[in-house]
Amino acid sequence: MIKINEYTKIAVNSLSKKLDDNHPEIRAKAAESLGRIGSETAIPGLLKALEDSDGFVRMKAAEALGNIGSEIAIAGLLKALEDSYFEVCGYAAEALGKIGSETAIAGLLKALEDSHWNVRIKAAEALGKIGSEIAIPGLLKALEDSNKDVRMYAAEALGKIGSEIAIPGLLKALEDSDEYVRMYAAEALGKIGSEAAIAELLKALEDSNKDVRRNAAEALGEIGLEEAIPALINALSDEEDSVRFSATDAIGKIGSRYALT
């Protein structure tokens, strides 16, 4: 949100009128432009545009409200989570994540069970941005979603929230069939920083995927226990540069902590 001068006020008023233009392309562009300006005075018109007959206009209105970032828009965006057009639902979820209010959590948790995978992804991302532990049970359930991308973003969100409550689910996700889910689970465990994850992260250092091994090394460095050093030394001989780099960095992080005690 920004303070605006007189000329910008005139621009906002003029663009708001274009939200009622006969052509949907112009209505959509008006919504987009209002989002770029970022003035709260555009919110009433954009909320009305969330009910436009054209799905693309509704999508752009949701996006604009997220860019403005005011809690005034939350009720309208929560309603938009149930739009018939899945892309509108996705943009509404993304907007709610940008606004960052816990009042949106219940609606986003419901969206985590939407029939369309893209909506579930956007809901998981938004819950991670909001960062409340209230979302953890729903995100843990999403770690078992049939769609691998939903599982991946759920793991990432749990890492952003950073609660040890999520550790058992993330440890299980380290054995997921998809390498990206395993990669994000390792990263999340490093962000949480609990010693309870050490044993499984040491196993992940031998994963078949280089990115999983790299993230496991980074996570072990973040947790910082000496017992990880032997395995990290072995990882210095990994065939992949990124793994060797992360292992080198992790050993330095762990060693510096103990050198200072």
Please tell me the total number of residues recorded for the chain in this structure: 261
Q: Are 204 and 216 in contact (CB under 8 A)?
A: yes
pLDDT bracket for residue 78 (50, 70, 90):
very high
Q: Are 77 and 47 in contact (CB under 8 A)?
A: no
Topology adopted by domain 1-130: Leucine-rich Repeat Variant (1.25.10)
In this structure, the dihedral spanned by the alpha carbons of residues 164, 138, 75 and 147, taken in order and rounded to 10 degrees, is: 120
pLDDT in tens, 121-171: 999 999 999 999 999 999 999 999 999 999 999 999 999 999 999 999 999
- CATH no., domain 166-261: 1.25.10.10
pLDDT in tens, 91-113: 999 999 999 999 999 999 999 99
pLDDT in tens, 8-53: 899 999 999 999 999 999 999 999 999 999 999 999 999 999 999 9
The pLDDT assigned to 260 comes to 53
At 189, list the tokens. 């465990």
pLDDT bracket for residue 6 (50, 70, 90):
confident
- Percentage of the chain beyond pLDDT 90 is 94
The pLDDT assigned to 1 comes to 47
Domain with CATH 1.25.10.10 in the chain: 1-130, 166-261
pLDDT in tens, 242-259: 999 999 999 999 998 776
